[in-house]
Structure 1
Amino acid sequence: MILLNGPPACGKSTLAGRFADDHPLTLNLDVDRVRSLIGRWRDDPHTAGLLARGVTLAAARAHLSAGHDVVIPQFLGRTTFIDQLERLSREVGATFHEVVLLDSKENVLRRFAERTRAAADPLHVEAHEMIGRDGGFDDLSVMYDRLMEVTAARPQARIVHVEEGQVDRTYHALLRSLG
């Protein structure tokens, strides 16, 4: 199991998709996509998020138990879900890789703003709406700080530095981090 953690607009979804394309039968299990399948999730995004994480854990268990890889691209500014993913990996005998995609806070804020202006992917539009509802770029800055705290508390997490416009280079750095 590979957890790709990182701030919004750092390439988690892009890299997860590329990994799944390059590794047959890998499940690209995006929690935000799962949440979007829950009816009227916007009425109660917190509960919907918890439900989506439960579904994600169940799907990951089934896929890992069948002997296939799972990649989960998700910003996680708290350790609860990370701990659940790690525990699940141990339970099914899978290796857990925790990777944090990082760039400077300034670059993240700028890229998120640019992505929002050009958003075509409904998940990117939803991300902007959710962050905007919760405090906009001030909240994104707080999210970044929480990610840094989580990363500091999890020394086993591997950091991959994101280089803007260098998807191939970042992807190869991700592969190297997986050993």
Structure 2
Amino acid sequence: MARLLHLNGPPGIGKSTIARRYAAEHPGTLNCDIDVLRTLVGGWADDFVRAGSLIRPAALAMIEAYLASGQDVVLPQLLIDPAEIGLFEGCAARAQAQFVERLLMDAPDRAVARFHRRGADQPDDPWHAQVRAIVAAQGGDEAIHRRHAALQALAGSRPDAVVVESAEGDVEETYRRLLASLA
């Protein structure tokens, strides 16, 4: 049975990094990083949020078709609204695939610090600049704390969601923990 692996977590926690690693070690797995797809929409840098809302239906269709072909998909995407998660869960169900939720988490203050280090090795990357600007406009560190708390509440409300502690600065350990949670 194909599987849709949703990697959730606060911004900067390592979702995309772990998803790339997972796909690299699981041939045929699609890494459907919606934030990467967003950059394919003309004007995305001018309206980051709109580009995301435009690309999400295409991502859902792509995920469902890929799952229906019998292949796995990994989805690194921060989602807090259960209705949004339900859209992805629904596409897995329609494709007769398994929906698996993992929340990559760290302590709130460490999550904030990790966000601020995000993209430090790519200071001119416009995607990271966009995310930093959005978070700043939404309240900066407090916005990250709110998302972290919302994710903790979400984890408690979704019985099949499993929290995986993200080891700061140790992708290998985080990846090992993810694989152990899937065994």
TM-score normalised per structure 2: 0.90
Q: Which residue of 2 aligns with 1:128?
A: 132
Among all aligned residue pairs of Structure 1 and Structure 2, give the percentage whose two residues are the same amino acid: 39
**1:5 touches 1:98 (CA, 8 Å); kept in 2?**
yes
**2:65–2:95 Cα contact (<8 Å) kept:** no
Residue in structure 2 matched with residue 140 of structure 1 by the alignment: 144
CA RMSD of aligned residues (A): 1.7
CA deviation vs aligned residue, 1:24-64 (integer Å, no higher than 9, x gap):
11111111111111111344444332222111101101111
The yes-or-no answer on 1:69 pairing with 2:69 is no
Question: C-alpha separation between the residues in 1 aligned to 2:50 and 2:11?
Answer: 21
Q: 1:80 to 1:46 in 2, by over 3 A?
A: farther
- Higher mean displacement: 71-80 or 109-118: 109-118
Listed as ranges, the gaps of 5+ residues in structure 2 are none
- Does residue 1:38 correspond to 2:44, yes or no? no
Q: Which runs of 5+ in 1 are unaligned?
A: none
Tell me the amino acid that sits aligned with residue 16 of structure 1: A
Residue 158 of structure 2: aligned partner? 154
Letter in 2 for 1:165: G
Q: Are the counterparts in 2 of residues 8 and 112 from structure 1 also a CA contact under 8 Å?
A: yes
Q: Distance in 2 between matches of 1:69 and 1:151?
A: 23
Cα distance in 2 for partners of 1:46, 1:166 equals: 30
Report the secondary structure of 1:96's partner residue: strand
1:35-114 equivalent positions in 2, closer than 5 A:
35-114=38-117
**Which letter maps to 2:147?**
M
**1:14 Cα offset (Å):** 0.8
TM-score (normalizing by structure 1): 0.92
Q: Does the CA-based 8 Å contact 2:20-2:31 persist in structure 1?
A: yes
Secondary structure in structure 2 of the residue aligned to 1:98: strand
Question: Could you tell which deviates more after superposition, 74-83 or 119-128?
Answer: 119-128
Q: Is the CA contact 1:20–1:27 (under 8 Å) kept in the aligned structure 2? A: yes
Query: Does 63-72 or 141-150 show the bigger shift?
Result: 141-150
Q: Work out whether 1:20 is the aligned partner of 2:12.
A: no
Whether 1:169 aligns to 2:180 is no
Q: Deviations over 1:85-127 (max 9, x none)?
A: 1111111111111000010001001111122544445433322
One-letter amino acid of the counterpart of residue 151, structure 1: A
State which drifts further: 78-87 or 108-117. 108-117
**Number of aligned positions between the proteins:** 179
Distance 2:16 2:48 in 1: 20
